[in-house]
A and B are shown apart, each in its own frame.
Chain A
Amino acid sequence: MSDTSTNTDTRGAFRKLADLDKTAVAPFLALAALFVLGALINPNFLSIDNLLNVLTRSSFIAIIAVGATFVISAGGLDLSVGSMAALVAGVMLLFLNSAAIDGDMAMLCVGVLVAIGVGALAGLLNGAVITIGKIEPFIVTLGTMAIFRSVTVWLADGGSIAMKSTSMRALFRPVYTGTFIGLPIPVWIIAIVGILAAFILYKTSFGRHVIAVGSNEDVAKYSGIHVNRVRAMTYVLQGICVAIAVVVYIPRLGAATTTTGMLWELQAITAVVIGGTALRGGVGRIWGTICGAFMLEIVGNIMVLSNIVSEYLIGAVQGTIIIIAMLVQRTLQRKK
């Protein structure tokens, strides 16, 4: 009757407990391994400047992937993030170019709010269709991926939307290039987004509900949790994260093109999965995800520094990584 006298349950679960820790630690071990590899290939790799540079470049994916961590922990999936980023960037730039408000600073501040609003609405659209329509997230976000992309191309009239005002550009650029207390601003933004997200996921009842819904939707429902509301909210958070990533991205290029955000969904999902979050839901690891995004960029960096593999193959390498990460997760976790 006590758990010691039950048989297979206890044994299998024992193994599982031991493995849970492994999945949490694995991404950081992999990161350490990449550091060693990078240092062997090029001594400059481990310089603070290079690492900060890599971290800065990983910021878009890291921030988007933090949002994806919520969606995936709740048992969902969002394929539309790349297109959504393009759409948010397009709308934000059109607004900035409209010169609706006097003063560049005020314009920029409202522009950021517009971006976040558009991101949140786009996320809400995904979440609402998935929960109210009871359609697979894969299908819904595949659809909105096409919709967001296409609307962006239409807004850009097939070309690109660039920021017109040079003064505003100059004002906005430090968001990507500037530093604060020695650290690049995007790194600060990753840190703030990470801390906020970790707080929400680990410390609040909403976060607990996300994990519960991803773990077992029925149990959540029978426990009186608003399952649909929680799921929809994860997509809204995802949209807000995409908008924040766009705010960091625009000052880098100053334009939105028809290819902005291409394959970001692949990278974001890869970062989440390498980070140790279970694709079937019920486990979410914010810091693992950020570590995963960092690793993806490091792999690219090592490829550039080494000349062993052509950097044109970076997509192939990242694709391989997500498959290997899944295999590792599968092996570490108890077989269903």
Chain B
Amino acid sequence: MATQHPMNPVTVPVLEARGIAKAFGPVEVLTDISLTIMPGEVHAIIGENGAGKSTLMKLLSGHLKPTRGTVAIDNEPVSFAGPVDAEHRGLVLVHQEILLAPDLTVAQNIFMGRELKRGLMVNDREMNRQSAEAVRSLGADIDPTTPISRLSIARRQLVQIARALQVPHRVVIFDEPTASLTPIETDALLKVIRDLRDKGVAILYISHRLPEVAAIADRITVLRDGKLIATRNASELYPVDMARLMVGRDMSKLYPEREDTAAHQTVLDVRNFDVPGFASDASFTLRKGEILGFAGLIGAGRTELLEGIVGLRHGSGTIELNGKPVKFHTVRDSMAAGIVYLSEDRKGKGLLLAQDLRTNLTLATLDKFTKGPLIERKREDQSLDKAITDFDIRARRRDLLAGQLSGGNQQKLLLAKMMLLEPSIVIIDEPTRGIDIGTKEQIYKFIADLAKAGKSVIVISSEMQELIGICHRILVMRSSRIVGEVTGDAMTEEEIVVHATGVKINEAELYSAGNA
């Protein structure tokens, strides 16, 4: 895409926010946002997690009502009765999560709730035909009779987009559409978006992936802490400036210092490890005091490999811990050996959301808090006090439920819980997913401190910047295998992407496409 779209000065904005604000209870999460979306433009909204992007989208698509200000369509103030009402007015939101019925076919999903009928019966043939066409117009070729469960995440996403575009649309809102896509799939999606734009559709594009925003956007709005920081033409804004505006501080201080561990002894030696269906022939070592990163695309098998190693899944291979061969049949065995694993799925596998902080904190170490058969609640409470201080867990009240904490505080609670096991090796899967920048910094520091204290840390992350920022060494997985190791000056996003995808993509080209 090399052409900049000349904006017609007399065109009225198809969608406009006029000083809208949203408060939940006493807390205002979005303050006085004004922006316009013109037909035939891609307007990107960028910002850190928690900046208010999703709330803004929900306000603009009728999922939420603003507490102040108005939304206007074609210069006419409107008040949406709900998302369906917004859809009737041509506003379509493509959700970040895949909301499809896995057992139904592509066509059945695309037409769900608005099935084509012939008399009393559904007209499968016509729906299949139209679905195939809709998917093809997005540049993919998927048999419309395939059940969704047999499609890759990327293809499911395309089906979801096809479904959204079935209704007449003037504005399409994409909420982090590339979160689970490979670079090639991302390119294909960006092309679809450009085609839509060229047809005069207005696009609102939310992402925190800056190169991709630079490649697709005509205008960019930056949000931070619920406020609009700037709206600029994309041609005037380079990714570096975007990052600075998003974060509002110097990025270089985000990551703590690293100590040199090259000479330290090996504590964990994994050889030829297989986790059926997910990882094969994985070998790596971990040194004392080292922070080792695992990079790779979603589905590359990183989580499963490490779950296999700690005994959460079936796996086979050789594991040596401090030079002695070990075998972990269950996760209790690895815990006893001093290895803990913090799941990426904090809410699903890490914490009991409906239970209080104390119950969560001591769950993995209850034996340490019992006297005879009795749990000593007093000692549990003391332990919670200590955890709240040590990990800076911010809870209004002690009797909150884990589910009432913010993502960052949940992660700190999970860390506190697992650190009660006094591990020597800590494996953290996606340590900062869904966490604001301030807490991220705390967690990076915590990881660095662990390493300085002589513990070893394995970090699995999809945020390449984060791995580069905190790790001594990064292993890259692709399709169930460890395919590369980057270290020192070679730790760049480009280098990791080459290993992770097996394809040399030219980032410079990607950048220039949006700015030429």
Question: Which of A's residues lie within 8 Å of B, judged by CB?
Answer: 1-11, 13-14, 16-17, 203-206, 208-209, 211-212, 215-216, 218-226, 282-283
Contacts and interface: CB of A to CB of B under 8 A. Distances in A.
B303 to A, nearest CB: 12
Contacts of A9: 403-406
Interface residues of B, number: 49
Interface stretch (B4-12, B77-85, B174-182, B370-378): B370-378
Given A218-B349, A282-B352, 4 more contacts: A4-B396, A203-B373, A203-B375, A226-B330
B436 interface: yes
Contact of A7 (B24, B343, B359): B24
Nearest to A282: B354
B221 interface: no
A16 B400 CA distance: 10
B364 A224 contact: yes
B354 A17 contact: no
Interface string B286-297: 000000000000
Interface string B107-127: 000000000000000000000
B409 A222 contact: no
A221 B312 contact: yes
Interface string B15-48: 0000000001101010000000000000000000
Contacts, number: 121
Contact of B366 (A16, A17, A205, A226): A205
Given A2-B394, A224-B331, A13 B401 contact: yes
A336 to B, nearest CB: 11
A216 B403 CA distance: 13
A212 B436 contact: no
Interface string B341-360: 10101001111111100010
Contact of B374 (A2, A203, A215, A219): A203
A211 B366 CA distance: 13
Contacts of A17: 399-401, 404
Interface centre among A1, A212, A221 (most CB of B within 10 A): A1
A329 to B, nearest CB: 14
B401 A222 contact: no
A96 to B, nearest CB: 33
Interface string B373-417: 111000000000000000000111001110111111100000001
B97 interface: no
B209 interface: no
B367 interface: yes
B277 interface: no
B29 A7 contact: yes
A137 to B, nearest CB: 20
Given A203-B375, A205-B366, A208-B359, A5 B332 contact: no
A221 B331 contact: yes
A13 B355 contact: no
A208 B366 contact: yes
B404 A13 contact: yes
Contact of B375 (A5, A11, A204, A282): A204
Nearest to B395: A3
Contacts of A3: 394-396, 400, 404-406, 409
Contacts of A203: 373-375
Contact of B50 (A1, A16, A225): A1
A10 B352 contact: no
A209 to B, nearest CB: 7
Given A1-B439, A6-B406, A218-B349, A211 B335 contact: no
